[in-house]
Amino acid sequence: MCGIFACYRHPDVQKFKTTALKMGKAVRHRGPDWSGNWIANDTILVHERLSIVGVDSGAQPLVNDEETVSLAVNGEIYNHRIIRKTLKKPYNFKTHSDCEVIIPLYLQHGIDAPRHLDGMFSWVLHDKVQDRVIAARDPIGITSFYLGRSSKTPGAVFFASELKCLHPVCDDIMSFPPGHVYDSKTDKLTRYFDPKWLVEPDNIPTNPVDYKELRETLEKSVRKRLMAEVPYGVLLSGGLDSSLVASIAQRETLRLNGQAKKRMTATNGTATNGVQNGWEVDGHATGHLVGIDDSNELATVQKLPQLNSFSIGLPGAPDAVAAKEVAEFLGTKHHTFTFTIEDGLNALSDVIFHLETFDVTTIRASTPMFLLSRKIKAMGVKMVLSGEGSDEIFGGYLYFHAAPDKAAFHQETIKRVGNLHLADCLRANKSTSAWGVEARVPFLDKQFLNVAMNVDPAEKMITKDRIEKYILRKAFDTTDEPDTKPYLPDKILWRQKEQFSDGVGYGWIDALKDNAELHVTDEMMKNPKPEWGGDIPDSKEAYWYRCMFDEHFPSYCAKTVMRWTPTWSKQTDPSGRAVAIHNQKYQSPAN
């Protein structure tokens, strides 16, 4: 992940430059590898880079030959090689960066450029000739992005990857909506990602599930996300979603290693620039090969001889035990880290500062992920695959047991997918970016979403014969395929859902509740802060987090936060263990 900050039409941009660089520095944790800036007319772009693709030549902001179009991007464009080959007009690419294709796409398609991108991204592009800014965010909001304005500079518009570099210069901030593009010509946001399943929630799909298509589309999604020129790994919780991602990634890693070995043997281990048998040799002394497969629209650079997998939990945590079992089954190089409750409690304020939220569910789950990301970065790994999005797509949360009918089930999945940028995507993006690590999420691939979200929701509903996420599990069940190696052990493939904050160890949530009792009194609960308005915390834990949020951010930033609550349920605790259907539920009178 990278960090960007931009300001369009500042009344004194040269004087503002010092402040702009300071605001960019506030997100340097997202991009510790290099810093850059560009001024054109009265607009400034600031970029903090994390180099994953085009490591040696992708410094930003990117600028065309004529220096009329400049661009700052946070993200990855997985179809960049295909775009380069299919442009109608020649363009002189200065770098190997996947992001540079956005400039010629804009020159060719204007405001429709984001429709042609397959990836995760937030970007700001400035056209000097038209004095026009175009800004866009990926369809689901995997990358974090905000838009701000200031009463002190009423004509200016600000953009940034995180709140922390906007609130010092803005007094009106919003979360930039996913799947939208901003155009300074109209000063409006317009939706560009508009599949029928998303924009017509009352139109309930009737397509029967195609298990082969579901499996193959997810496999392709994982392959695309192995595009990297740096060491990568997989976050492995031991649950269904991360285990499937790890399984597919391991198969692809072994396949690529086998192909690379054959080709290196054929060339006597010599790396030369050029293309050999459909593979582009990258010129490194070690002869790493860049896989180009136009039919699958992917490009992969293989750096590691073995796939690394990572898990974290309290000692004896359910997820850590399951993750180790999955890793042994797959043959990944697994790293199990433990944290103490004290470690987690000590990190809370930093976690809230980086997450920029006070949502209970997000903070509970982000703290272990935040601690794990620091360990991963220390090992030299800069990119990881993660399993976010599956529960929203397939109705995997335990409260979906209570869905009254398939229409309600489907509409709830749309709502959850639409809010991912305020929940699990925010967690995955900011927990890892806090330490300069990039998280990629295969379940939120555009093509996979269109396949999965257009399945008749009756196929997804939880019944006495069908566990949550049944069709996903079934798609990767090879029981009837004797010639296919199993993707996962049956006990993992059919394991009940554990929310991450539960899976790292049940003592974690219990400790958070106990400590909230020490910090928040009954009297405080009765007298919430006036500036909170109608958004009143409903528990001492929520009150505690809101107070920590207020220590870092002004009150007007609160409108960018969404509090996660389950539907069809009276419970106030979002933990999966608070749902009666959970095998290891809280032992309380309510259950």
- Residue numbers in the known binding site for L-glutamine are 98
Determine whether 2 is an active site residue.
yes
Q: Sign of dihedral through CA atoms 568, 574, 579, 582?
A: positive
Closest CA to 221 of 128, 152, 120, 319: 120
Binding site members: 98, 235, 312, 386-387
Closest CA to 544 of 521, 565, 560: 521
Rounded CA-CA distance 566/499 in Å is 13
What residue spans of 419-486 are helical by DSSP H?
A: 424-433, 446-452, 470-475
Annotated catalytic residue, options 2, 165, 170, 557: 2
Q: How many beta carbons lie within 10 A of that of residue 421, not counting itself? A: 25
3-state SS string for 282-317: CCCCCCCEEEEECCCCEEEECCCCCCEEEEEECCCC
Give kind and range of the element (H or E) at residue 124: strand 119-127
Give kind and range of the element (H or E) at residue 383: strand 383-385
Q: What's the residue count for the chain? A: 591
Burial class (CB in 10 A: 0-12, 13-18, 19+), 76: buried
Closest CA to 390 of 499, 253, 249: 499
Closest CA to 574 of 585, 582, 566: 566
Rounded CA-CA distance 413/87 in Å is 36
- Encoded tokens for 438: 């990039």
Name the residue type at position 215.
R
- Encoded tokens for 409: 């089930």
Alpha-carbon dihedral of residues 398, 194, 82, 215, nearest 10 degrees? 30
State the catalytic residues.
2
